[in-house]
Amino acid sequence: MFTDLSPKYHPLTVETVPAYVRSRPELSSIFRSDDDIESVEVGDGNLNLVFKVWAKADPERTVVLKQALPYLRLVGDSWPLPTDRARIEAAALEAESRLCPQHTPKVYFYDPDLYLIAMQNLNHHIIMRKGLIQGIKYPLFAEHIGLFLARTLAYTSDLVLDFRTKKLEVMRFTNPELCKITEDLVFTEPYRKTERNRFHPEIEPQVLALQADDSLRVQVAQMKEKFMTHAQALIHGDLHTGSIMINQTETYAIDPEFAFYGPMGFDVGAVIGNLFLSYASHEVRTKDPDARADFRKYLTDTVLQLWKVFEREFSKVWADVDSINMPKGYQEDYMLRVLQDSAGLGACKMMRRVIGLAGVEDIRGIENVTDRSIAASLALNIGQALIMNRREIRTIEELVEVATGCRPSYPWKA
Protein backbone atom coordinates (compact mmCIF):
# COMPACT_ATOMS: atom_id res chain seq x y z
CA MET A 1 0.00 0.00 0.00
CA PHE A 2 2.77 2.42 0.93
CA THR A 3 5.75 1.24 -1.04
CA ASP A 4 6.78 0.80 -4.61
CA LEU A 5 7.25 -2.69 -5.94
CA SER A 6 10.27 -4.42 -4.38
CA PRO A 7 13.24 -4.24 -6.80
CA LYS A 8 13.69 -7.99 -6.31
CA TYR A 9 10.11 -8.77 -7.33
CA HIS A 10 9.57 -11.12 -10.24
CA PRO A 11 6.69 -13.48 -10.89
CA LEU A 12 7.72 -17.11 -10.48
CA THR A 13 7.12 -19.65 -13.25
CA VAL A 14 7.06 -23.43 -13.22
CA GLU A 15 10.62 -23.19 -14.58
CA THR A 16 11.92 -21.02 -11.71
CA VAL A 17 9.97 -22.64 -8.86
CA PRO A 18 12.34 -25.61 -8.25
CA ALA A 19 15.44 -23.45 -7.73
CA TYR A 20 13.43 -21.09 -5.54
CA VAL A 21 12.11 -23.74 -3.16
CA ARG A 22 15.56 -25.35 -2.91
CA SER A 23 16.97 -21.96 -1.89
CA ARG A 24 14.64 -21.62 1.11
CA PRO A 25 15.94 -23.11 4.38
CA GLU A 26 12.38 -23.10 5.79
CA LEU A 27 11.53 -25.91 3.35
CA SER A 28 14.60 -28.07 4.03
CA SER A 29 12.53 -30.52 6.06
CA ILE A 30 10.26 -31.06 3.05
CA PHE A 31 12.56 -31.03 0.03
CA ARG A 32 16.05 -32.58 -0.20
CA SER A 33 18.77 -30.90 -2.23
CA ASP A 34 18.80 -33.74 -4.76
CA ASP A 35 15.00 -33.86 -5.15
CA ASP A 36 13.51 -33.61 -8.58
CA ILE A 37 10.88 -30.90 -7.95
CA GLU A 38 7.74 -30.49 -10.02
CA SER A 39 5.11 -27.77 -9.97
CA VAL A 40 1.95 -26.61 -11.64
CA GLU A 41 0.27 -23.21 -11.59
CA VAL A 42 -3.35 -23.60 -10.50
CA GLY A 43 -4.49 -20.08 -9.57
CA ASP A 44 -8.14 -19.84 -10.50
CA GLY A 45 -8.59 -16.67 -8.55
CA ASN A 46 -8.07 -13.25 -9.95
CA LEU A 47 -5.30 -11.81 -7.89
CA ASN A 48 -2.47 -14.27 -7.58
CA LEU A 49 -0.23 -16.97 -8.94
CA VAL A 50 -0.66 -20.25 -7.07
CA PHE A 51 1.86 -23.06 -7.54
CA LYS A 52 1.46 -26.57 -6.25
CA VAL A 53 4.97 -27.89 -5.73
CA TRP A 54 6.04 -31.46 -4.91
CA ALA A 55 8.96 -33.86 -4.88
CA LYS A 56 8.64 -36.16 -7.88
CA ALA A 57 9.79 -39.06 -5.72
CA ASP A 58 7.05 -38.44 -3.13
CA PRO A 59 4.08 -36.18 -3.96
CA GLU A 60 3.19 -36.04 -0.28
CA ARG A 61 6.26 -33.87 0.24
CA THR A 62 4.57 -30.79 -1.08
CA VAL A 63 3.90 -27.08 -0.53
CA VAL A 64 1.82 -24.35 -2.09
CA LEU A 65 3.41 -21.06 -3.13
CA LYS A 66 0.98 -18.16 -3.39
CA GLN A 67 2.40 -15.05 -5.01
CA ALA A 68 0.61 -11.73 -5.32
CA LEU A 69 0.36 -10.21 -8.78
CA PRO A 70 0.51 -6.44 -8.96
CA TYR A 71 -2.78 -6.27 -10.87
CA LEU A 72 -6.24 -7.83 -10.78
CA ARG A 73 -5.89 -10.88 -12.98
CA LEU A 74 -9.55 -11.05 -14.00
CA VAL A 75 -9.46 -7.73 -15.83
CA GLY A 76 -5.76 -7.62 -16.73
CA ASP A 77 -3.25 -5.00 -15.76
CA SER A 78 -5.74 -2.16 -16.11
CA TRP A 79 -6.61 -2.56 -12.41
CA PRO A 80 -3.42 -2.29 -10.40
CA LEU A 81 -3.52 -3.92 -6.99
CA PRO A 82 -0.96 -3.38 -4.29
CA THR A 83 1.22 -6.31 -3.41
CA ASP A 84 0.95 -5.19 0.24
CA ARG A 85 -2.04 -7.52 0.41
CA ALA A 86 0.42 -10.43 0.59
CA ARG A 87 1.82 -8.98 3.82
CA ILE A 88 -1.76 -8.64 5.11
CA GLU A 89 -2.59 -12.22 4.14
CA ALA A 90 0.55 -13.57 5.82
CA ALA A 91 -0.20 -11.57 8.97
CA ALA A 92 -3.84 -12.71 8.99
CA LEU A 93 -2.83 -16.35 8.56
CA GLU A 94 -0.44 -15.94 11.47
CA ALA A 95 -3.21 -14.49 13.66
CA GLU A 96 -5.70 -17.18 12.62
CA SER A 97 -3.11 -19.87 13.18
CA ARG A 98 -2.47 -18.63 16.70
CA LEU A 99 -6.20 -18.54 17.49
CA CYS A 100 -7.46 -21.56 15.57
CA PRO A 101 -4.55 -23.66 14.22
CA GLN A 102 -6.73 -26.66 13.39
CA HIS A 103 -8.56 -24.75 10.65
CA THR A 104 -5.74 -22.56 9.29
CA PRO A 105 -3.17 -23.80 6.74
CA LYS A 106 0.36 -24.00 8.10
CA VAL A 107 2.59 -21.19 6.81
CA TYR A 108 6.29 -21.98 6.24
CA PHE A 109 7.41 -18.45 5.47
CA TYR A 110 6.49 -15.13 3.92
CA ASP A 111 8.90 -13.69 1.35
CA PRO A 112 8.49 -9.89 1.37
CA ASP A 113 10.57 -9.46 -1.79
CA LEU A 114 8.39 -11.71 -3.92
CA TYR A 115 5.12 -11.06 -1.98
CA LEU A 116 4.95 -14.81 -1.64
CA ILE A 117 3.56 -17.11 1.02
CA ALA A 118 4.75 -20.72 1.24
CA MET A 119 2.12 -22.84 2.94
CA GLN A 120 0.69 -26.27 3.49
CA ASN A 121 -0.66 -27.92 0.34
CA LEU A 122 -4.17 -29.06 1.24
CA ASN A 123 -3.97 -31.85 -1.29
CA HIS A 124 -6.47 -34.12 0.43
CA HIS A 125 -9.18 -31.46 0.42
CA ILE A 126 -11.38 -29.87 -2.17
CA ILE A 127 -12.89 -26.43 -2.47
CA MET A 128 -16.12 -26.63 -0.49
CA ARG A 129 -18.16 -24.92 -3.20
CA LYS A 130 -17.34 -27.72 -5.63
CA GLY A 131 -18.37 -30.32 -3.06
CA LEU A 132 -21.66 -28.59 -2.33
CA ILE A 133 -22.41 -28.39 -6.06
CA GLN A 134 -22.04 -32.16 -6.19
CA GLY A 135 -24.34 -32.54 -3.21
CA ILE A 136 -21.63 -33.73 -0.84
CA LYS A 137 -22.40 -33.24 2.86
CA TYR A 138 -19.68 -32.21 5.32
CA PRO A 139 -21.04 -33.19 8.71
CA LEU A 140 -18.20 -31.56 10.70
CA PHE A 141 -18.20 -28.27 8.82
CA ALA A 142 -20.64 -26.47 11.13
CA GLU A 143 -18.62 -27.38 14.21
CA HIS A 144 -15.35 -26.40 12.52
CA ILE A 145 -16.41 -23.11 10.99
CA GLY A 146 -18.39 -22.06 14.09
CA LEU A 147 -15.22 -22.52 16.12
CA PHE A 148 -13.08 -20.72 13.54
CA LEU A 149 -15.47 -17.75 13.45
CA ALA A 150 -15.76 -17.47 17.22
CA ARG A 151 -12.04 -17.77 17.87
CA THR A 152 -10.83 -15.44 15.14
CA LEU A 153 -13.53 -12.81 15.69
CA ALA A 154 -14.05 -12.71 19.45
CA TYR A 155 -10.34 -12.85 20.26
CA THR A 156 -9.40 -9.98 17.95
CA SER A 157 -12.10 -7.66 19.29
CA ASP A 158 -12.07 -5.10 22.10
CA LEU A 159 -13.69 -7.79 24.24
CA VAL A 160 -10.29 -9.49 24.53
CA LEU A 161 -7.51 -7.25 23.23
CA ASP A 162 -6.27 -4.40 25.38
CA PHE A 163 -7.02 -0.87 24.17
CA ARG A 164 -3.58 -0.29 22.63
CA THR A 165 -3.10 -3.64 20.91
CA LYS A 166 -6.52 -3.44 19.27
CA LYS A 167 -5.84 0.00 17.82
CA LEU A 168 -2.36 -0.95 16.58
CA GLU A 169 -3.85 -4.05 14.97
CA VAL A 170 -6.41 -1.89 13.18
CA MET A 171 -3.47 0.08 11.74
CA ARG A 172 -1.48 -3.03 10.81
CA PHE A 173 -4.44 -4.51 8.95
CA THR A 174 -5.41 -1.33 7.11
CA ASN A 175 -6.15 -2.70 3.64
CA PRO A 176 -7.66 0.09 1.51
CA GLU A 177 -7.40 -1.36 -1.98
CA LEU A 178 -8.84 -4.77 -1.14
CA CYS A 179 -11.63 -3.17 0.91
CA LYS A 180 -12.36 -0.96 -2.09
CA ILE A 181 -12.97 -4.05 -4.23
CA THR A 182 -15.61 -5.20 -1.75
CA GLU A 183 -17.10 -1.72 -1.39
CA ASP A 184 -17.53 -1.53 -5.16
CA LEU A 185 -18.40 -5.09 -6.12
CA VAL A 186 -20.55 -6.08 -3.12
CA PHE A 187 -22.21 -2.87 -2.00
CA THR A 188 -22.23 -0.44 -4.91
CA GLU A 189 -22.32 -1.84 -8.42
CA PRO A 190 -25.05 -4.52 -8.07
CA TYR A 191 -27.55 -1.78 -7.17
CA ARG A 192 -27.03 0.43 -10.20
CA LYS A 193 -26.49 0.19 -13.91
CA THR A 194 -22.79 -0.48 -14.56
CA GLU A 195 -20.85 -2.19 -17.30
CA ARG A 196 -19.29 -4.64 -14.90
CA ASN A 197 -22.52 -6.28 -13.75
CA ARG A 198 -22.92 -9.69 -15.35
CA PHE A 199 -26.39 -11.07 -14.67
CA HIS A 200 -27.87 -13.03 -17.53
CA PRO A 201 -30.64 -11.40 -19.55
CA GLU A 202 -33.41 -13.79 -18.44
CA ILE A 203 -33.47 -12.36 -14.93
CA GLU A 204 -33.11 -8.74 -16.00
CA PRO A 205 -36.69 -7.82 -14.97
CA GLN A 206 -36.03 -8.94 -11.39
CA VAL A 207 -32.66 -7.17 -11.28
CA LEU A 208 -34.16 -3.94 -12.59
CA ALA A 209 -36.99 -4.10 -10.05
CA LEU A 210 -34.49 -4.67 -7.27
CA GLN A 211 -32.29 -1.78 -8.43
CA ALA A 212 -35.37 0.45 -8.56
CA ASP A 213 -36.28 -0.37 -4.96
CA ASP A 214 -35.33 2.66 -2.87
CA SER A 215 -35.99 0.94 0.45
CA LEU A 216 -33.60 -1.88 -0.46
CA ARG A 217 -30.86 0.57 -1.44
CA VAL A 218 -31.28 2.32 1.93
CA GLN A 219 -30.58 -0.98 3.68
CA VAL A 220 -27.62 -1.78 1.42
CA ALA A 221 -26.16 1.69 2.07
CA GLN A 222 -26.38 0.99 5.80
CA MET A 223 -24.52 -2.28 5.30
CA LYS A 224 -21.83 -0.56 3.22
CA GLU A 225 -21.42 2.08 5.94
CA LYS A 226 -21.07 -0.69 8.52
CA PHE A 227 -18.43 -2.40 6.39
CA MET A 228 -16.49 0.86 6.05
CA THR A 229 -16.70 2.18 9.61
CA HIS A 230 -17.29 -0.64 12.10
CA ALA A 231 -13.83 -1.78 13.27
CA GLN A 232 -15.15 -4.62 15.43
CA ALA A 233 -12.72 -7.50 14.84
CA LEU A 234 -10.07 -8.83 12.45
CA ILE A 235 -12.27 -10.38 9.81
CA HIS A 236 -11.24 -12.75 7.03
CA GLY A 237 -13.11 -10.53 4.61
CA ASP A 238 -13.81 -13.12 1.89
CA LEU A 239 -15.06 -16.21 3.69
CA HIS A 240 -17.22 -17.73 0.97
CA THR A 241 -17.31 -21.47 0.27
CA GLY A 242 -14.61 -20.99 -2.38
CA SER A 243 -12.24 -19.95 0.42
CA ILE A 244 -12.78 -23.17 2.34
CA MET A 245 -10.80 -26.36 1.72
CA ILE A 246 -12.59 -29.37 3.13
CA ASN A 247 -13.02 -33.10 3.38
CA GLN A 248 -15.05 -35.36 5.65
CA THR A 249 -12.77 -34.78 8.64
CA GLU A 250 -10.99 -31.47 8.16
CA THR A 251 -11.85 -27.86 7.31
CA TYR A 252 -9.43 -25.05 6.43
CA ALA A 253 -10.16 -21.37 5.79
CA ILE A 254 -7.74 -20.07 3.17
CA ASP A 255 -6.95 -16.81 1.36
CA PRO A 256 -7.47 -14.05 3.97
CA GLU A 257 -5.95 -11.35 1.75
CA PHE A 258 -9.07 -9.20 2.24
CA ALA A 259 -8.54 -9.22 6.01
CA PHE A 260 -9.07 -5.97 7.92
CA TYR A 261 -10.85 -4.73 11.03
CA GLY A 262 -14.51 -4.84 10.10
CA PRO A 263 -17.89 -6.12 11.30
CA MET A 264 -18.01 -9.72 12.52
CA GLY A 265 -21.26 -10.23 10.62
CA PHE A 266 -19.40 -9.90 7.33
CA ASP A 267 -17.60 -13.22 7.92
CA VAL A 268 -20.50 -15.02 9.58
CA GLY A 269 -22.81 -13.70 6.87
CA ALA A 270 -20.43 -14.80 4.10
CA VAL A 271 -20.63 -18.40 5.28
CA ILE A 272 -24.39 -18.33 5.81
CA GLY A 273 -25.03 -16.47 2.54
CA ASN A 274 -22.98 -18.96 0.56
CA LEU A 275 -24.82 -21.89 2.14
CA PHE A 276 -28.05 -20.25 0.99
CA LEU A 277 -26.60 -19.76 -2.50
CA SER A 278 -26.08 -23.52 -2.54
CA TYR A 279 -29.63 -23.94 -1.19
CA ALA A 280 -30.97 -21.81 -4.04
CA SER A 281 -28.94 -23.71 -6.64
CA HIS A 282 -30.31 -27.08 -5.53
CA GLU A 283 -33.80 -25.85 -6.37
CA VAL A 284 -32.80 -26.97 -9.87
CA ARG A 285 -29.52 -28.87 -9.46
CA THR A 286 -31.21 -31.67 -7.51
CA LYS A 287 -34.27 -32.80 -9.42
CA ASP A 288 -35.47 -35.55 -7.09
CA PRO A 289 -37.70 -33.89 -4.45
CA ASP A 290 -36.64 -36.17 -1.61
CA ALA A 291 -32.96 -35.81 -2.40
CA ARG A 292 -33.40 -32.05 -2.69
CA ALA A 293 -35.20 -31.79 0.63
CA ASP A 294 -32.57 -33.98 2.24
CA PHE A 295 -29.62 -31.90 1.02
CA ARG A 296 -31.37 -28.67 1.84
CA LYS A 297 -32.04 -29.92 5.35
CA TYR A 298 -28.31 -30.55 5.62
CA LEU A 299 -27.64 -26.95 4.51
CA THR A 300 -30.14 -25.35 6.90
CA ASP A 301 -29.07 -27.62 9.76
CA THR A 302 -25.53 -26.46 9.06
CA VAL A 303 -26.58 -22.80 9.33
CA LEU A 304 -28.40 -23.50 12.59
CA GLN A 305 -25.54 -25.49 14.04
CA LEU A 306 -22.68 -23.20 13.02
CA TRP A 307 -24.39 -20.30 14.76
CA LYS A 308 -24.92 -22.36 17.91
CA VAL A 309 -21.26 -23.40 17.92
CA PHE A 310 -20.28 -19.78 17.29
CA GLU A 311 -22.38 -18.64 20.27
CA ARG A 312 -21.08 -21.45 22.48
CA GLU A 313 -17.41 -20.68 21.75
CA PHE A 314 -18.00 -16.93 21.92
CA SER A 315 -19.53 -17.35 25.37
CA LYS A 316 -16.08 -18.27 26.70
CA VAL A 317 -15.12 -14.67 26.05
CA TRP A 318 -18.24 -13.37 27.76
CA ALA A 319 -17.36 -15.44 30.82
CA ASP A 320 -14.21 -13.35 31.22
CA VAL A 321 -15.50 -9.82 30.64
CA ASP A 322 -16.37 -7.57 33.54
CA SER A 323 -20.08 -8.11 34.02
CA ILE A 324 -20.54 -4.84 35.90
CA ASN A 325 -19.76 -2.77 32.82
CA MET A 326 -20.90 -5.44 30.35
CA PRO A 327 -23.95 -6.98 31.98
CA LYS A 328 -25.78 -10.00 30.62
CA GLY A 329 -28.24 -7.79 28.77
CA TYR A 330 -25.38 -6.20 26.83
CA GLN A 331 -23.88 -9.56 25.97
CA GLU A 332 -27.21 -10.77 24.57
CA ASP A 333 -27.70 -7.54 22.66
CA TYR A 334 -24.17 -7.82 21.22
CA MET A 335 -24.80 -11.33 19.90
CA LEU A 336 -28.18 -10.32 18.49
CA ARG A 337 -26.55 -7.46 16.60
CA VAL A 338 -23.92 -9.84 15.18
CA LEU A 339 -26.79 -12.10 14.04
CA GLN A 340 -28.68 -9.24 12.41
CA ASP A 341 -25.49 -7.94 10.79
CA SER A 342 -24.85 -11.45 9.47
CA ALA A 343 -28.29 -11.49 7.87
CA GLY A 344 -27.83 -8.08 6.23
CA LEU A 345 -24.20 -8.45 5.17
CA GLY A 346 -24.66 -12.07 4.06
CA ALA A 347 -27.63 -10.93 1.98
CA CYS A 348 -25.42 -8.41 0.15
CA LYS A 349 -22.92 -11.19 -0.53
CA MET A 350 -25.70 -13.32 -2.04
CA MET A 351 -27.20 -10.64 -4.26
CA ARG A 352 -23.89 -9.54 -5.70
CA ARG A 353 -23.11 -13.12 -6.72
CA VAL A 354 -26.17 -13.06 -8.97
CA ILE A 355 -25.96 -9.50 -10.30
CA GLY A 356 -22.36 -8.37 -10.06
CA LEU A 357 -19.00 -8.98 -11.71
CA ALA A 358 -17.98 -12.05 -9.72
CA GLY A 359 -20.53 -14.85 -9.79
CA VAL A 360 -20.51 -18.27 -8.19
CA GLU A 361 -20.38 -21.58 -10.02
CA ASP A 362 -23.29 -22.87 -7.90
CA ILE A 363 -25.60 -20.65 -9.94
CA ARG A 364 -23.73 -19.31 -12.97
CA GLY A 365 -22.50 -22.83 -13.67
CA ILE A 366 -26.04 -24.15 -14.30
CA GLU A 367 -26.18 -24.77 -18.03
CA ASN A 368 -29.92 -24.79 -18.65
CA VAL A 369 -31.03 -21.18 -18.90
CA THR A 370 -34.44 -21.70 -17.32
CA ASP A 371 -32.94 -23.62 -14.43
CA ARG A 372 -30.24 -21.00 -13.95
CA SER A 373 -32.85 -18.25 -13.92
CA ILE A 374 -34.91 -20.06 -11.31
CA ALA A 375 -31.91 -20.50 -9.01
CA ALA A 376 -30.75 -16.90 -9.55
CA SER A 377 -34.23 -15.58 -8.87
CA LEU A 378 -34.50 -17.57 -5.65
CA ALA A 379 -31.06 -16.40 -4.49
CA LEU A 380 -32.08 -12.78 -5.04
CA ASN A 381 -35.34 -13.29 -3.16
CA ILE A 382 -33.56 -14.88 -0.21
CA GLY A 383 -31.02 -12.04 -0.12
CA GLN A 384 -33.71 -9.41 -0.31
CA ALA A 385 -35.79 -11.08 2.43
CA LEU A 386 -32.79 -11.38 4.75
CA ILE A 387 -31.69 -7.77 4.47
CA MET A 388 -35.19 -6.28 4.61
CA ASN A 389 -36.23 -8.37 7.63
CA ARG A 390 -32.95 -8.43 9.50
CA ARG A 391 -34.08 -6.18 12.36
CA GLU A 392 -36.99 -8.50 13.13
CA ILE A 393 -34.74 -11.58 13.22
CA ARG A 394 -34.03 -12.53 16.83
CA THR A 395 -32.78 -16.13 16.55
CA ILE A 396 -30.90 -18.22 14.02
CA GLU A 397 -34.09 -20.27 13.60
CA GLU A 398 -35.93 -17.12 12.52
CA LEU A 399 -33.13 -16.29 10.08
CA VAL A 400 -33.46 -19.73 8.50
CA GLU A 401 -37.24 -19.37 8.36
CA VAL A 402 -36.96 -16.07 6.51
CA ALA A 403 -34.69 -17.70 3.93
CA THR A 404 -36.59 -20.96 3.49
CA GLY A 405 -39.87 -19.10 3.17
CA CYS A 406 -38.70 -17.64 -0.16
CA ARG A 407 -39.68 -18.93 -3.61
CA PRO A 408 -38.21 -18.05 -7.02
CA SER A 409 -40.08 -15.35 -8.95
CA TYR A 410 -38.99 -16.91 -12.26
CA PRO A 411 -40.72 -17.88 -14.48
CA TRP A 412 -42.56 -14.58 -14.28
CA LYS A 413 -46.26 -14.69 -13.61
CA ALA A 414 -48.31 -13.22 -16.42
Angle between helical axes of 214-229 and 369-388 (0-180°, round to 10): 70
CA distance 40 to 64: 10
Rounded least distance, CB 388 to a copy of itself, Å? 13
- Single residue of 104, 121, 206, 232 touching a copy of itself by CB under 8 A: 232
- Single residue of 120, 222, 286, 305 touching a copy of itself by CB under 8 A: 222
306 neighbors 146 (Cβ within 8 angstroms): yes
Q: Decide: is 80 part of the binding site for a copy of itself (CB under 8 A).
A: no
Closest listed residue to residue 351, CA positions, set 377, 380, 390: 380
Site for a copy of itself in 139-178 (CB under 8 A): 158, 163-164, 166-168, 170-171, 174-177
- Single residue of 66, 125, 224, 296 touching a copy of itself by CB under 8 A: 224
- Single residue of 5, 19, 75, 218 touching a copy of itself by CB under 8 A: 218
Nearer to a copy of itself, 372 or 390 (CB): 390
Nearer to a copy of itself, 189 or 283 (CB): 189
Residues 6+ apart with CB under 8 A from 36: 55, 56, 57
Q: Decide: is 44 part of the binding site for a copy of itself (CB under 8 A).
A: no
119 bridge partner residues:
64, 107
Residues 6+ apart with CB under 8 A from 8: 113, 114
Q: Decide: is 23 part of the binding site for a copy of itself (CB under 8 A).
A: no
Site for a copy of itself in 269-328 (CB under 8 A): 324-328
CA distance 138 to 274: 14
Nearer to a copy of itself, 40 or 326 (CB): 326
- Single residue of 12, 132, 185, 231 touching a copy of itself by CB under 8 A: 231
Rounded least distance, CB 122 to a copy of itself, Å? 32
Q: Decide: is 215 part of the binding site for a copy of itself (CB under 8 A).
A: yes
144 neighbors 251 (Cβ within 8 angstroms): yes
Rounded least distance, CB 190 to a copy of itself, Å? 10
Q: Decide: is 414 part of the binding site for a copy of itself (CB under 8 A).
A: no
CA distance 51 to 100: 25
Residues 6+ apart with CB under 8 A from 363: 277, 280, 281, 353, 354, 372, 375, 376, 379
For the chain, the farthest-separated pair of C-alpha atoms sits apart, in whole angstroms, at 71
265 neighbors 346 (Cβ within 8 angstroms): yes
Nearer to a copy of itself, 213 or 294 (CB): 213
Binding stretches for a copy of itself (CB under 8 A): 158, 163-164, 166-168, 170-171, 174-177, 179-180, 183, 187-188, 191-192, 214-215, 217-218, 220-222, 224-225, 228-232, 324-330, 333-334
